Structures are given as structure tokens and as C-alpha cells.
Amino acid sequence: MRTTITIEDDVATEIARLQRLRDEGLKQTINAVLRAGIAAMAKPSRKRRAVFRTAPASLGRPRLKSLDNIDEVLSFGEGESYR
């Protein structure tokens, strides 16, 4: 198959380096790189995420018995001047 593609400068530099290392033609080097890339991308990722755990911290006893009484909560948070 014949096609035209635009290769970015950094990729072209690496392909030229590989071409010299492997002593191959441009076509053979590009096909080898594409095959390796396709094979690598086709494999499912086996990378597991690290389990994130947090250490528990004691916050002490609650200052209010319940948050159900909003008047009590506001008077505690803003002082008795709220009432």
C-alpha cells in the first residue's frame, strides 16, 4: 500500500537513528516501527493501580449530641449572640 503521511520532526529523527543502527532502508525501518507499535498498543494493559489508603485520625468527641436541632447548632457555631 502506498500512502503519504506527515511525520513530526522528533519522530523522523528517531526513525533516521534506527535506520542507521539497523542498517536498513527507510521503508523497512518504518514498517518495523509500526509493527512494534501496533503490537504494543494491541496488548491489554496489565498495569494495576496502586491502592490508595488513608490512615484514620481521631477527631475527638463531637461537641454536639445531634445536628438535628439547627438552632442549637447555629448558637454553638456563632455563639449565644445568634439567638
Instruction: Please name the amino acid found at residue 35.
Output: R
Decide if pLDDT at 6 tops 90: yes
What pLDDT does 35 receive?
A: 96
Convert the pLDDT of each residue in 27-81 to its tens digit: 999 999 999 999 999 888 777 888 899 999 998 887 888 888 888 888 888 876 6
How far, in Å, are 67, 73, 74, 80 from residue 64 at the CA level? 7, 8, 11, 15
What pLDDT does 38 receive?
A: 95
The DSSP annotation for 31-79 comes to HHHHHHHHHHHHSPP-PPPPPP--------S-SSS-SS-HHHHHHHHH-
Convert the pLDDT of each residue in 11-32 to its tens digit: 999 999 999 999 999 999 999 9
What pLDDT does 7 receive?
A: 93
Nearest 5°: CA angle at 10, between 8 and 11? 65
